[in-house]
Structures are given as structure tokens and as C-alpha cells.
Amino acid sequence: MSDGSDPDVILFGGKGGVGKTTCAAAAALRLARRGVPTLVVSTDPAHSTSDVFNRDIGARPTEIDDPLYAAEVGPEEWFGRRYSDRLAALLDKANRLGFDVDGGDVADVTSEGLVPGADELAVVDMFATFASDRRWGAVVFDTAPTGHTLRLLELPDAAGAALSKLVTLTSGVDRVTSAASRLLGGDGGRADVDLGDDIDTARARLESVSSLLADPGRTEFNVVTSAERMALDETRRLYDELRDSEIAVGHVIANRVRLDVDEQCDHCTSQRRRQMTLLSEFESDLGVTTHRIPSLPGLDAAARVDAIAEDIPVPGDD
């Protein structure tokens, strides 16, 4: 297993469909081949890690090939596991006593089991949980498409709003159950479910995640793109947002680049010229060098991950 220190954290983000999952899986595989206990976590609602590894993967770390493990976790599922059951118990307790918690607050919880900002709160909790698990030497996150990734940078504010809603809910239930206790006598009306410790823990995790995302000594954000104009334009925006948020960009990875083509194929050579022109302009604009991954036509998902793992950049490369 790991040496007992906190794991390195590597995030892969970018536009939908550019190959983030493939790149994240390949990086995790390369680290594992070096003997690093590695967990790759998909937080993208359109999970495809199971496909690239050809395994059934759930919310708990699933062994792919020791020391490589994988997990696919949705924010709603994580939030439900952490909070929803206890919130439901609190609300049920109040309602059985004949009291109503504020209707708007109840609706927030009962509508899909979530409160505003709950998905962000869940991602914070998920991120902090895996990134502090010393069983791993590295944790690789396959994030959702760019819009969701940018929300990751705003997690403290969004998740803070969710925490405020939880505090309001629990305070409301505490008030009505305490009133019931006074009316009924004894402690029969007291709430027997407490979210206070969970909320305090979540607050602490907000702070730790903010610090971790901004720590280049532990965290690296790799931006994945393709050599197409729309993808590169979106990548520019993501790169600028990361830089403005003082989050270290490790590598910009251009996926499916026509590096080796049949010179007798006019379409192939034309496509390669167009891609190289776009990548050169992109690199010049941002002052970066892209790591280019060949298109590798004809390979299935698992074989492609295996091939990309040969040279995809990871922490520890010379």
C-alpha cells in the first residue's frame, strides 16, 4: 500500500467527449504499474470507467489489478449516503409530533432528496474523503464536463449555501421537537438524530479542499482537449479559470491527434495539417506546450487505455 503520507491528487477536466476518462484511466494505470497504490474516481454522471476497464464498478473502490482500483460515484448518491436518511428521520420525527417544518425547506429535501448546493457539498465531501485516504499513493479524478468542472472551483460558496440550508432544517426540527418535549414531558419528543457533527465536519472539509486545490505540491489539474477549434476555445476558457483560481495546471493534453498518417491519404494529411495549425495557434496564445496523444484508430477502449499509459504524463516523471 502507500507509505502512509497523503496521496497525490490528479484531476482530469475538459469538454465532454474529448477523452477525459481514457486519459484519467491511463494515468492511473501508469502509476499503478510503477507500484503506486492508485484509485481512479469518476464523478462524471455519464460514468464510463466501467467501460474502459471492462468491469462493473460501483461507489466503493473496486480492484482492477492490484494496486489499481476504481470507483464511480454520483453526487446524489454520495449526499444521500451522508445526509438524506438522517434528514428524512428528522423531518419524520417532527411530522409525527404534529409540527410542520418550513414547507420550503421540506420541499428542498423531498424533491429528489436534495437541498440547494447539495451536489457541490457532496463533491467536496467525496473529494476530501478520497484525497485524505492514506491507503492510496495517488487519487486520480475523472471530472464532469467543463461547466461542472468550473463549478468545482466555486465549491466553497456553493457548498456553503447547502450547509446553511442544513443548519436551517436541523434548527427548525430542533425547535419543534423541543417544544413537543416540553408539552409531552420527559424526552419523548426530542430528536434522536443529530446532524451537528456532520455539519461541523463538512465545514472543515470545505476549508481543506480549498487549500488542497490550490496546493501545487499535492494537486495537479490536467486539461484534456482535442485538436478541434470548438474544443480548443473551451479549453482556453477552462485554462484561464484555473489560472485565475490559482490552481496549478499540470499538463494540457491534446487527445486523438493525427501524428502518424498514410502520406498517400490526402484526407489524412489534410486533417493532420489542420490539427497542427490549430494546436500551434493554441500553444502560442497560452504559452504552453501540449502533450499530444495519437489517434490510435481501431483500438477498443481497454486497448487504447493500455497504449496511452505508455507515455501519458504523471507525477514523478523525470
Positions annotated as catalytic residues are 44
Q: E-strand spans in 73-218?
A: 138-142
CA separation for the pair 214, 247 (Å, rounded): 5
Q: From the CB of residue 285, how many other CB atoms can be counted at a distance below 10 Å?
A: 11
Residue linked to cell 483560481: 245
List, in sequence order, every residue forming a beta bridge with 70; answer none if it has no partner.
40, 62
Residue with cell 489499481: 68
131-to-5, 111, 126, 219 alpha-carbon distances in Å: 11, 30, 8, 10
Cβ–Cβ < 8 Å for 304, 22: yes
